[in-house]
Amino acid sequence: MAVRPESVEDWCQIMPNLLEEEGWKTALAQEGSALMHSSCPWGGYLIKFELKGLTVHNAPADSSKVIVRPEVRALLQGTCPIPGISVQSLDVMAPGEAVVQASTSWSIMRLCSVLFGDMVGQVMDYLCDDAPMAWHQKVGRNYPNQGDSSCSFWMEDSNDKPHECLILVRPETATEKFTAFVIVRVHENHFARWASEHFRSVLSSARSTAESYLNRPGIVELREMDEQFYVVISMQSFKRGMPLLPAYPDEHCLTEIDAGERFGLRRWVRYEPRSTKFQLAQYLPVFMERLGFEIGAYNSLDGQKLVPYQCVVRRADWEQMRSRFLEAYPLQKTAYRRANGGSGSPGVHEDVLPKFVTSTALNIQERMDQEAWPKLVVRKTFLDLEEDDTSSNGSPKVRPPRRPKTTHFGRLLVPSLP
């Protein structure tokens, strides 16, 4: 395996029939629930639970928000605790994406550990009280279908035997009815048919656990807080060059405005982006830093990349510095018009609807195909094959991508599942 899935999009690209019955072997089907299994395209075996007709009381109007973001669960864990689960939040990469450690005493997990031993030893280690492991979680919205809510899991810092899991909740036509899919990869290349007499008990336990989890006390309030947890900021109308920044005392300024004198914002300089294109997620933190504030801004939301002129910030952080921003930013507009002429200047709007860019990245299968071929290296007049490090069985080892910059939210306990 050259590339592992790290989002619901990756899962569906590798295995288009992921959520269908075709291509899967049914071990047991009863009362709207099914246990299926299939060989895994990138190695090992897949086990799938399909649980239809689950009732979600007071489900959100936007069904894609049934699953709560992991970092929101971390910061608001006291609002909606889950008996038997303890999760420690480690790092937040972006809205809807975090690394956590977890342990649980849920009976369904222990039952699966007995029937599918590879789970407890490899995939479900992070759910065991004695050996919690770091797992990366990434929420997805409205994919592959409108209204879908998902969370993909993969193990952090596991190069030899990476582990993956996907949970997806899909609305049905009936009000407050949903189907839940839970798909786990195990490293054994066969299915535990010897345990078939216990499958009925597994399905019954999985169904009751899922319905209980989706309707746990406090979940309605938690979903409402999750929906308001971030605010989307948008900038527009800067056609005469990059926007400006308050100048430091030792900087040569581009322009000066009398209106900023009493605010200490008389002098202004041109913003110089780190890349050739403007990114509001880069500009806003620099602007606020020059006002004496620190804020984290992100260019993605729930796994989808925002257009360059939008960014996402935590609402609580924004509200702390909003008044200062609204005091300073109109002065930036005045300075911009003074420096560039004309009447146009970049405006900022808050609490707008997010706009996402269409992905132009290679899909995961293309990336897998590319990495499967050795690279050619030209040395003078010879062509050499670039040698990769290999594992014990001779297959190329996967070099993990460089870890993105993270925000540490502290050591907080929250539920591990979405």
Edge-first strand order for the sheet with 149-155 is 25-30, 33-39, 45-55, 177-186, 164-171, 149-155, 134-141, 97-104, 85-94, 412-413
Q: How far apart are CA 136 and CA 123, in angstroms?
A: 13
- pLDDT reported for residue 375: 42
Q: Is the pLDDT of residue 331 over 90?
A: yes
Question: pLDDT category, 155, cuts 50, 70, 90?
Answer: confident
Residue 142 has what pLDDT? 95
First CA to last CA distance, the chain = 27
Interval 48-94: pLDDT, tens: 999 999 999 999 999 999 999 998 887 777 666 665 556 666 789 99
> Is the pLDDT confidence value at 205 over 50?
yes
Residue 191 clears pLDDT 80, i.e. is over it: no
Q: What pLDDT score was predicted for residue 125?
A: 44
Mean pLDDT calculated for residue range 330-351: 92
Beta strands in 229-292 (DSSP E): 230-236, 244-246, 255-256, 267-270
DSSP H/E element including 111 = helix 107-115
In 365-400, which positions are buried (b, 16+ CB within 10 angstroms) versus exposed (e)?
eeebeebeeeeeeeeeeeeeeeeeeeeeeeeeebee
Mean pLDDT over 239-249 rounds to 92
pLDDT band at residue 367 under the 50/70/90 scheme: low
Q: How confident is the model at residue 414 (pLDDT cuts 50, 70, 90)?
A: very low
Residue 32's closest CA among 181, 176, 175? 181
What residues pair up with 25 in beta bridges, in sequence order? 37
- pTM strictly above 0.85: no
Selection from 157-166, 168-177, 396-405 with the highest mean pLDDT: 168-177
The lowest-confidence range among 84-93, 162-171, 347-356, 409-418 is 409-418
Q: Name all domains of the chain by residue range, CATH numbers in brackets.
A: 8-228+405-413 (3.30.530.20), 230-350 (no CATH)
User: Is pLDDT at 256 greater than 70 in this prediction?
Assistant: yes
Residues whose CB is less than 8 angstroms from the CB of residue 176 and which lie 6 or more positions away in sequence, other chains included? 55, 56, 57, 58, 59
pLDDT > 80? residue 8: yes
Query: What pLDDT band is residue 123 in, cutting at 50, 70 and 90?
Result: very low
Q: Evaluate the omega torsion of the peptide bond into residue 144 and state whether it is cis, within 30 degrees of 0.
A: yes
Q: Which residue has the higher pLDDT, 278 or 77?
A: 278
